[in-house]
Amino acid sequence: MNTNTDQDIDILSKITFMDSLLDKQTEIRNMLDVRSNIVIGFNSALVVLLVTYFRDQATDNPVFWVLLGSVILSLLLAIIALKPPHTSTKKGQVESLFYHHYIHSKSLEEYRAEIHGVLNDEKKIYDAYITEVYNMTSYSNIPRKRFLYSSLRVLIYGMSLAILVYGVMLLLSMPVSLF
């Protein structure tokens, strides 16, 4: 049995595994971006609807202001989820060979030499993948997820609060024009 061929197959399966981890994190990032864009579109439509159709009744309608405030805050958080601030993403971590700023910081010859050096050492290949998966998860996907989920919570709690305010106004027999 040819051990060199077995070793090549073993290395190939390890690289395939690492590549699938990286693909999974890329899919998660893309999914978070799509969800953020959906929330942005929904909130934008609500802002336009609220401001366009109900601005005349807005002055003394607390339901309107609760809804508008929560929708705008949710909209801002969803926008931030697309590109979280560096304070929540950049922590001085080791940059991976795949990171575009890292690539840009090197000349072509420096980057080429570094890649060839990595390709000559199996452990360095694994380390490059591990660093990229870790950085993508910790410094990109998790902050995006936090901002997106905060956006959704603000929207849900804001709508719930608006319903509660409306109900209280009805119970207190206050003049209520929903819109």
pLDDT at res. 177: 65
Give a yes or no: residue 120 inside a domain: no
Whole-number Cα distances in Å, 47 to 61, 80, 121, 170: 16, 17, 55, 25
Number of domains in the chain: 1
One pLDDT digit (tens) per residue for the chain, 179 residues: 455 666 666 778 888 888 898 899 999 999 999 999 999 999 999 999 988 887 777 777 888 899 999 999 999 999 999 988 876 656 667 777 777 777 888 888 988 888 888 888 888 888 888 888 888 888 889 999 999 999 999 999 999 999 999 899 889 887 766 55
Q: Which domain holds residue 13?
A: 3-95+141-171
SS3 letters across 85-154: CHHHHCCCCCCCCCCHHHHHCCCHHHHHHHHHHHHCCHHHHHHHHHHHHHHHHHHHHHHHHHHHHHHHHH
Give a yes or no: residue 44 inside a domain: yes
